[in-house]
Amino acid sequence: MSATAHVQGDGHAPDHSKRDFLKLVAASGAAIGVGSLAWPLIDSMNPSGDVLALSSVEFDLAPVPLGQAVTVVWRGKPVFVRHRTPDEIKTAEAVKLSELGDPQLDSDRVKAGHEQWLVVVGICTHLGCVPLGNKSTDPRGDFGGWFCPCHGSQYDVSGRMRHGPAPANLAVPPYAFMSDTRIKIG
Ligand code: FES
């Protein structure tokens, strides 16, 4: 089963948040919360496992602004698709493995020739919150990627954990480029 994602308006963000995140939501229409919302709460509203197991989602990268990210729902999970700037790519590539708690090269987390696009599962590897940082005005921590307000984990522009209790990098889901401006996750 494959679905085409579409841009959705702000929807209902948590009441403490006025961030107008751009969100892409898969055809199921399930909305994604942002901020410190714990993922398992949302996950309980998603389709059954046999439906999810077949799911893939395609979407157009063109609406994603440079320096920002959008959230796509894939198999009931938020996936961040970030359009990285040239400076962010350079920064990510310059990090030495010895600086990382979960050592992984940036080049192993993106597709060759499409380094401006980072695709990661947007679930903090500590306890499952959805980190902040998709919008350039959001808190992104000291490493320019994402900041998890739950317990202070920080991720860099490659989605690698750099600070705090998170034990691992944000996961990279299976995905492929269908063209220069379109990807398929799953
Ligand atoms: S869930 Fe992200 S730091 Fe605890």
Residue-wise pLDDT for 126-185, tens only, equals 999 999 999 889 999 999 999 999 999 999 999 999 999 999 999 999 999 999 999 999
Nearest Cα to 75, choosing from 124, 152, 2, 153? 2
Instruction: For residue 64, give the CATH number of its domain.
Output: 2.102.10.10
Pocket test for ligand 1, best of 127, 132, 162 (most atoms within 8 A of CB): 127
Residues catalogued as catalytic: 151
Split into its structural domains, the chain has a count of 1
Q: Pocket residues for ligand 1 (CB within 6 Å)?
A: 124, 126-129, 148, 150-153, 164-166
Q: What is the pLDDT of residues 69-86, one digit of tens each?
A: 999 999 999 999 999 999
* pTM for this prediction: 0.77
> Please, are residues 106 and 164 in contact by the beta-carbon 8 Å criterion?
no
The secondary structure element, H or E, covering residue 156 is strand 154-156
How far is it, in rounded angstroms, from Cα 168 to Cα 120?
A: 12
Q: In which domain, by residue range, is 181 found?
A: 2-185
Which atom of ligand 1 lies closest to the CA of 128? 1
